[in-house]
């Protein structure tokens, strides 16, 4: 400890300080120090700005984070990876600290220079990440992201309306008469085109003109049987009966069933989409240290388990399994049956091929 010499009365006089004012000065100094510490604490608490998917973070956990850290959190939401990317490119990059893109979008954002690298040792809970989610192709070694939740994208069908076989992508692209005009499709370019590719049995990011024409024709023909495009409305459409079938995330299908919808989630023989959503550190994050603190918080098993139990998806962190509700782990949507095919992740196309896919999607969405 650093020690300071005592001031005696003689030294006070030589210093030109009236002895009666020493106590006052000490008190003033103490107040200044106290105010400095208080200001420092307030600054340390700070703010955190999150860009996140809709209906995808429990308020109770957000409150817990704020209570533990003193950090004020704001969240803006989006309905698709593409909407998030477009928003950031349009000028929002630099206003948010973290975002939650899916696997393929993490790769795109890395390539576009939109993410900040996480330094060695910054995430003290990085060791909690499951090995299979550490060695991911879209972010090898997890230099820019941490796992958030993972699951699948397929479709669910109202069993009061249709009792036939649903484990085929024909439900979406060549539906039975009773479902025609009653289908909702996700407003998600990558997932709709990937699902259509699975239906045709062609690779994603295919450059062959005939196959691209076939993909375009399939979608244009199927569109006449669809009632709507909607990601944030998919669950409610099934609950209300507005849609008799809907492309949907497995987590939202569980929620819809829990709300009373008599639906069944499909694992089509042609295949379905697998996804892993991730928390990323955005470039030019205004509150970088707070972002790291938040990411570390989400790598605590009890915290990310709270997310899983609320949104009904799976986490990529060790020690979570025993903390999950039986209602979640016993849900048919939680894990594919043994006879289901393996899920397919969305692929990242080269720029030229992506331009063609963008054109196909734009034509599909055109009224």
Q: How confident is the model at residue 22, as a pLDDT? A: 37
Measuring CA to CA, how many Å separate 203 from each of 71, 134, 196, 198, 199? Answer: 46, 26, 10, 8, 10
Q: How confident is the model at residue 38, as a pLDDT? A: 37
Distance CA(147)–CA(309), nearest Å, equals 16
Task: Identify which of 263, 243, 235 has the alpha carbon closest to the alpha carbon of residue 182.
Answer: 243
DSSP 336-362: --TTSPPPEEPPPPPHHHHHHHHHHHH
User: Within 13 Å, how many C-alpha atoms sit on residue 260's CB side?
Assistant: 4
pLDDT tens per residue across span 212-259? 999 999 999 999 999 999 999 999 999 999 999 999 999 999 999 999
Judge: domain 44-148+276-329, CATH 3.40.190.10. Answer: yes
pLDDT tens per residue across span 68-84? 999 999 999 999 999 99
Write the CB contacts of 200 (distance below 8 Å, at least 6 apart in sequence). Answer: 211, 214, 215, 218
* pTM, two decimal places: 0.86
Distance CA(287)–CA(96), nearest Å, equals 8
Q: How confident is the model at residue 340, as a pLDDT? A: 96
Q: How confident is the model at residue 367, as a pLDDT? A: 75
Average pLDDT, stretch 21-32? 40
Distance CA(289)–CA(267), nearest Å, equals 42
Distance CA(313)–CA(329), nearest Å, equals 9
Distance CA(104)–CA(111), nearest Å, equals 11
Q: How confident is the model at residue 239, as a pLDDT? A: 98
Q: How confident is the model at residue 280, as a pLDDT? A: 98
Per CATH, the homologous superfamily of domain 151-274+334-365 is: Periplasmic binding protein-like II (3.40.190.10)
Token readout for 9 is: 């009365």
Report the DSSP pairing between strands 47-53 and 72-78. Answer: parallel
What residue ranges do the domains of the chain occupy?
44-148+276-329, 151-274+334-365
pLDDT tens per residue across span 171-223? 999 999 999 999 999 999 999 999 999 999 999 999 999 999 999 999 999 99
332: pLDDT confidence band, cut at 50, 70 and 90?
very high
């Amino acid at each position: 400890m650093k020690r300071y010499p005592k001031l005696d009365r003689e030294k006070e006089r030589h210093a030109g300080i009236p002895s009666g004012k020493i106590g006052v000065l000490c008190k003033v100094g103490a107040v200044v120090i106290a105010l400095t510490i208080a200001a420092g604490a307030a600054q340390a608490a700070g703010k955190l700005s999150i860009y996140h998917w809709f209906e995808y973070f429990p308020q109770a956990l957000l409150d817990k984070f704020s209570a533990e850290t003193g950090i004020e959190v704001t969240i803006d939401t989006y309905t698709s990876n593409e909407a998030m990317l477009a928003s950031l490119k349009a000028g929002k990059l630099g206003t948010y600290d973290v975002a939650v893109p899916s696997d393929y979008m993490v790769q795109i954002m890395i390539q576009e220079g939109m993410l900040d690298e996480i330094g060695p040792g910054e995430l003290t809970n990085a060791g909690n990440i499951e090995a299979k989610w550490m060695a991911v192709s879209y972010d090898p070694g997890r230099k820019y992201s941490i796992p958030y939740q993972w699951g699948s994208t397929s479709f669910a069908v109202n069993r009061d309306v249709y009792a036939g076989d649903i484990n085929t992508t024909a439900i979406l692209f060549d539906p039975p008469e009773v479902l025609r005009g009653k289908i909702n499709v996700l407003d998600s370019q990558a997932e709709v085109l990937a699902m259509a590719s699975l239906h045709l049995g062609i690779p994603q990011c295919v450059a062959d003109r005939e196959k691209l024409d076939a993909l375009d024709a399939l979608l244009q023909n199927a569109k006449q049987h669809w009632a709507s495009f909607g990601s944030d409305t998919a669950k409610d459409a099934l609950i209300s009966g507005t849609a008799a079938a809907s492309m949907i995330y497995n987590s939202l299908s569980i929620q819809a069933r829990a709300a009373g919808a008599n639906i069944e989630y499909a694992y089509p023989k042609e295949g379905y989409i697998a996804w892993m959503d991730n928390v990323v550190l955005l470039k030019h994050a205004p509150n970088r240290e707070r972002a790291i603190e938040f990411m570390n918080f989400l790598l605590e098993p009890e915290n990310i388990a709270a997310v899983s139990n609320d949104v009904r998806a799976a986490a990529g962190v060790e020690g979570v399994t025993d903390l999950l509700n039986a209602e979640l782990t016993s849900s048919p949507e939680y894990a594919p049956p043994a006879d289901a095919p393996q899920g397919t992740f969305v692929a990242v196309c080269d720029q030229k091929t992506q331009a063609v896919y963008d054109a196909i999607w734009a034509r599909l969405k055109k009224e």
